[in-house]
Chains A and B, each alone.
Chain A
Amino acid sequence: MNTENELDEISAVARTMHAGWSSDSLLPRIQRAIARQERPQPSWHAWQVAAAAAILIALATLGWYAQRRVQEHDFNRAILQRTALDDVERAERSHVAAIGQLETLAGPKLEQSQSPLMVSYKEKLMLLDDAIAECQAGIRMNRQNAHLRRQLLSIYSEKQRTLQDVLREEAHENR
């Protein structure tokens, strides 16, 4: 058989190969599938709504809890700060009272003595009092200013040391 004949034969055989079979159930099957496709799916929709609601509730609860934690934290912090400040101020007051006692002892000596050393102590103490007044004014404006409080403490310590020096000097002179 030559090439042309073979090609013609293939075409001829192919033309008889249209496949047909009876399938009465196919159209109803397709129609049912289309009906299923068209039907709204309430369960899925309900699931979507429920999931969205659950997520919203979870987010709201989380937000409320976080806010509460922040508020609690702020409250605790404020309490702690206030307590700490009270402690510091109490310590300051006792420190000032102790220094006041030293001042009472050293005051008359400073007034009476005309020695250059005592005069310089007196001037130093006046400078320290001015610095203390300035710091206290600053602290009154902002009680939580730790820097001013540390500065005030160091000035008080310096004043305490100066008064002690005055008293020591006086004892030395009396000997």
Chain B
Amino acid sequence: MAIALTVQLPRVETFSVSDLDLARRCADGDPAAFESIYHAHAERMKSIAYHHLGNVADAEDAVQESFLKIHRAASTYTGEAAFSTWLYRILVNTCYDAMRRRRRRPQEAPIDDMITLTRAASNVDDAKRLMLARLLRELPEQRRTVFVLFEIEGFSHAEIAAIAGISEANSKWILFSTKKQLQEKWKHEH
């Protein structure tokens, strides 16, 4: 499968309907509500899952599992956090579960899609992207999440704090120290 690396950063969609109403309609099995959630968030969810799990098949599985959880739990959504935050939190936790499952059964780790990525890429930055993607996979899960959400997906620290269940200041600190860590390796790789 060819993966296109795009420069555009999608922002979190703002719905015309309230989050609670959307969650209620989703829980009631309204297909239009569900599809609107999917179309608003699936692309970004796939990218986040991909950067956590490293291949398209696992990323799609994680997105599917997240949507099933969202559908199951939509009736319990209280509106305390933004619906999108709640949704991405479910996705990140689903990715962590998949990563832990994979660690328990390392022989089942799927073939990386980086080969496909290499073929899809065609300009001089591809090598750097591949190197950074490889370095990201060596990071602990929380550091990887903060880096992916902020630097790749363009979330704010406030959003990341809500998704990862940490404080905003902690999110900033984790990002800073992660970048320093990456920089060390980046220097050696160059």
Which residue of B63, B68, B183 contacts A37 across the interface (Cβ within 8 Å)? Answer: B68
Binding site for A on B (CB under 8 A): 1-10, 29, 31, 34-35, 38, 42-44, 46-47, 50-51, 56, 59-60, 63-64, 67-68, 71-72, 125, 128-129, 132-133, 147, 151-154, 179-180, 182-183, 186-187, 190
Cβ < 8 Å to B, chain A residues 57-83: none
Interface string of A5-37 (1 = CB under 8 A from B): 011011101111111110100110111011001
Q: Is the interface of B mostly helix, strand, loop or mixed?
A: helix
- Closest beta carbon of chain B to A153's beta carbon, Å: 81
CA A14 to CA B125, docked complex, whole Å:
11
- Which chain A residues border B4 with CB–CB below 8 Å? 20-21
Q: Is the interface of A mostly helix, strand, loop or mixed?
A: helix
Q: Is the CB of A30 within 8 A of B38?
A: yes
Binding site for B on A (CB under 8 A): 1, 3, 6-7, 9-11, 13-21, 23, 26-27, 29-31, 33-34, 37-38
Q: Is the CB of A27 within 8 A of B6?
A: no
Which residue of A19, A26, A30 contacts B47 across the interface (Cβ within 8 Å)? Answer: A19
Closest to B64 in A: A30
Q: Is the CB of A7 within 8 A of B183?
A: yes
CA A18 to CA B190, docked complex, whole Å:
23
- Which chain A residues border B63 with CB–CB below 8 Å? 26, 30
- Closest beta carbon of chain A to B150's beta carbon, Å: 9
- Closest beta carbon of chain A to B139's beta carbon, Å: 12
- Which chain A residues border B29 with CB–CB below 8 Å? 38
- Which chain B residues border A18 with CB–CB below 8 Å? 5-10, 44, 47, 152-153
